[in-house]
Amino acid sequence: MHKELQRVQENAMSLCAPVFHEMENISLYNMEKVLTAFRKAHLSAYHFAPTNGYGYGDPGREKLEEIWCHIFHTEAALVRPQFVSGTHALATVLLGLLKPGDTMLSAVGAPYDTMQSVIGLTGNAPGNLKERGIHYKEVPLREGTYDLKAIADAVDEHTTLVEIQRSCGYMLRHSLYPEDIQKIIQVVKEKNPKTICFVDNCYGEFTCKEEPTDVGADIIAGSLIKNAGGGLAPTGAYICGKADLVELCAHVLTAPGLGNEMGSYAGGYQSFFQGLFLAPHITRQAMMSAEFCAAVFKELGFTVTPEPGHLRTDLITAVTLKTENNMCHFAKAIQNWSPVDSDVTPLPDAMPGYVDKIIMAAGTFVQGSTIEMSADGPVRDPYVMYFQGGLVFEHAQLAIMGAAEKILEEMKK
């Protein structure tokens, strides 16, 4: 590594040091929370066993959901490999809790891209909320963040459910800390105590000491190929919260009348338990990677969101790279420093559901897993690359320095 690059790396590491220390404290706190749940639930090796058929009384499934309730302090949970993705779990909540004539309110601007199809804001997917006669309202962001007064004004006696998305997703806004979520929920419940507060917790699990269910959320959902699966869960997602609400979701996940008492998994449950056990530590690795990425690219003179030096509430760093060429070099370096498909060169291409071309770098063991290191972004002005994940901080360090080296070379041309 040449001198300039070495200086960038050293400066970045010293910039990160105080935050890394705080992340260690959070990880220790969450490790204790997870371990206490495992001990309280008396997890044993027989809970790992594969099951088949209907899965009545499946010991692994039931134990996993019991442990989930201890960790998130909820009455009920659905933690299932049958959820094909985070979107599937989030949609199950909306389809389970909203009836024709009900109103859903998105509290923090437009929701995540895939949720827009579920609602019917984009595309024309059969069975979307709009088609089912469910009304949708949205509170716009103010100065890049949530607007408490506007949220209070938007909630009335007709507001059935408020969706609060914790992570920024692919928007340049601030992600929400548990304190922010708490404030929003307070404002909503003051206007209408019956309104269900639902949090999209994707990317948020174990980044802070508290979860949305600790600050008043009625129900939350997230993906198992992000934080909570610890990099080992091969697929799946979760919903947890108040028992009556989770029950309604279960009848949508399976079938009306079947509810939560069925579901087997021939692959066995060990990776879900072990992944959950690792999740606080792995989430810290990914948070450190995001922080280091922000520090390095700030050193190189690029705008990064969030700025390094603060505790995070999700795993994403947005780097504004200013040119398509820089995006391609960044993606190529991340891909080439991946353990899988390292010889692939990512190219910008059209993707269903997106207007602009997208470039993606991901050499992951689990397809589409974003707790593993990956980077992607729409190729349009101002050319923002979203970096997330990293199971091992050392790996992310190598890849990020690889990207920095390429971009430094480009800047010199």
Ligand X SMILES: *Cc1c(COP(=O)(O)O)cnc(C)c1O
Site for ligand X, rule CB under 6 A: 85-87, 90, 112, 114, 165, 167, 169, 200, 202-203, 223
* Closer CB to ligand X, 229 or 402, in the complex: 229
How many other β-carbons are positioned within 10 Å of the β-carbon of residue 306?
19
Closest CB to ligand X among 166 and 284?
A: 166
Q: Nearer Cβ to ligand X, position 165 or 336?
A: 165
In the complex with ligand X, the residue whose CB is nearer, 86 or 363, is 86
For residue 352, cis peptide bond before it (omega within 30 degrees of 0): no
At its nearest, how many Å lie between ligand X and the CB of residue 112? 4
Sorted by sequence, the CB contacts under 8 Å of residue 55 that are 6+ apart come out as 61, 262, 263, 264, 265
CA separation for the pair 127, 47 (Å, rounded): 37
| Nearest distance, CB of residue 207 and ligand X, angstroms | 12
CB of 61 to ligand X, least distance (A): 20
Q: Which is nearer to ligand X, 41 or 110 (CB)?
A: 110
Nearer to ligand X, 163 or 218 (CB): 163
First vs last Cα of the chain: how many Å apart? 19
Tokens representing 249?
């979701």
Residue number closest to ligand X, CB atom: 86
Q: Minimum CB separation from ligand X for residue 400, in Å?
A: 21
| Residues whose CB is less than 8 angstroms from the CB of residue 377 and which lie 6 or more positions away in sequence, other chains included | 170, 327, 358, 359, 383, 384, 385, 386
Neighbours of 96 (CB within 10 A): 19
- Contact (CB, 8 A) for 235 and 150: no
